[in-house]
Amino acid sequence: MPESLYGKDLICTQEWSMDELVKCLELAEDMQKHRFSPKYTKLLKDRTFFMFFYNPSVRTRQSFECAATELGGHAQYLEPGGMRLKTKKSAGETVEDAAQVMSRYACGMGIRILEDKVAAYGDGDNMLREYAKWSDIPIVSMAHDKYHPCQGLADIMGLRKHIGENLKGKKLLLYWGHGALARSWCSVQEAALLYSRFGMDVTIASPEGYDLDPAVIAATKKNCAENHQKFEIIHDPKAGYSGAHVVYSRNWMSPNAYLNGEFQKPLEIEKALKYTDWICDEAKMKLTDNGLYIHPMPIDRGHEVTDEVASGKRSIIYDVAENRLHVQKAIMALTMSEKYK
């Protein structure tokens, strides 16, 4: 059995053991089944969870606020623009000072900082780890430039429901979709790491020039090897669909997305929109092994995927969106409630 998770940060699921991940998922599944049961509704009674948003959101803010409320606590929305924080361009309070003070107010803190709010890939991850260094409360990634652990767990919860608890040997196609959003790597990298931890084959398909973080690729390869499963990277818009059990189509930025400390969003979009063959459609899905369609949302319909697939019978996008609430309740309970200390 895993040791207590009380006080533990969640910045990337790769840093939690499989026992810890399964414990979280099983609690989330029970919380979904007994959503308003008295055994869960007072776990964070009278306690506050800070939500620190550098980037806006729909599902993330809603799901975390609902999670805190359903656990008997309160979620407080924070924006860096309303706080006197030190940046590279302005004076203000350091992470060391802010983290230690906020630790005395709240039971935990979530941070969301994506590609367009950092000067270079990895800056967001570094900031979360700096907060974790100085905080006495758990730091939870609500999506940052490298990883999106809550989304990854919500995905796996959905797959456990629709495929079964044993995912070993099932094939994931992680598919680059052309689009107009210039998305970060966080969700797809989390998927590669976490799905491979659960024993799935992983095929990453993208055009040339859209490689992900080499360290993440190396870790995913290692996960697959340890589970005796297949890992491959291909650059064909169709071949990877053959035999897939799960198709995850999402646009992501190129490794050249930053120049002189700025995220080059217009250029990334202009480049991506040229690859019109890279869309998940019904013809491609027919090549799968009755594959599920999954996406963290929001979806760039008509670019990443067609409406026919996104709204089709094999799409589990809404189940996964709901799962964000349940896995986040489980994460908060396990890391912030004294019941699990």
**Model confidence pLDDT, tens digit, residues 199-232:** 999 999 999 999 999 999 999 999 999 999 999 9
Rg (C-alpha) for the chain, rounded Å, is 20
CATH of domain 151-316: 3.40.50.1370
Strand 231-234 versus strand 262-263 pairing type? unpaired
Confidence check: pLDDT of 246 > 80: yes
List, in sequence order, the alpha helices (H) in the chain: 18-33, 59-70, 95-102, 123-134, 149-162, 186-197, 214-226, 265-272, 282-285, 307-310, 317-336
pLDDT computed for residue 82 by the predictor: 78
Instruction: Tokens for 271, please give them.
Output: 């480049």
Buried residues in 297-334 as b, exposed as e (16+ CB within 10 A): bebbeebbbbeebbeeeebbbebbbbbbbbbbbbbbbb
Q: What are phi and psi of 340, to 5 degrees?
A: -105, 15
More confident residue, 87 or 303: 303
pLDDT computed for residue 90 by the predictor: 65
pLDDT computed for residue 224 by the predictor: 98
pLDDT, tens digit, for every residue of 74-125?
999 998 887 777 666 666 789 999 999 999 999 999 999 999 999 999 999 9
Among left, alpha and beta (phi > 0; psi -120 to 50; other), residue 164 is: left
Work out the pLDDT band at 161, boundaries 50, 70, 90: very high
Other residues' Cβ atoms within 10 Å of the Cβ of residue 42: 13
Among left, alpha and beta (phi > 0; psi -120 to 50; other), residue 290 is: left
* Mean pLDDT (the chain, rounded): 96
Which residue spans of the chain are classified as CATH 3.40.50.1370? 13-147+321-340, 151-316
* Rounded CA separation 233/211 (Å): 9
Read off the pLDDT of each residue in 243-252 and give the average, rounded to a whole number.
98
Share of the chain above pLDDT 70, in %: 98
For 74, the enclosing helix (H) or strand (E) is strand 74-78
CATH 3.40.50.1370 at 13-147+321-340, yes or no:
yes
Give the distance between the most distant pair of CA atoms in the chain.
56
Confidence check: pLDDT of 287 > 60: yes
Read off the pLDDT of each residue in 16-26 and give the average, rounded to a whole number.
98
Read off the pLDDT of each residue in 1-29 and give the average, rounded to a whole number.
94
pLDDT computed for residue 88 by the predictor: 64
Task: Determine if the peptide bond prior to 237 is cis (ω within 30°).
Answer: no
For residue 48, list its beta bridge partners.
Answer: 74
C-alpha distances out from residue 214 to 108, 172, 211, Å: 31, 19, 8
pLDDT computed for residue 2 by the predictor: 65
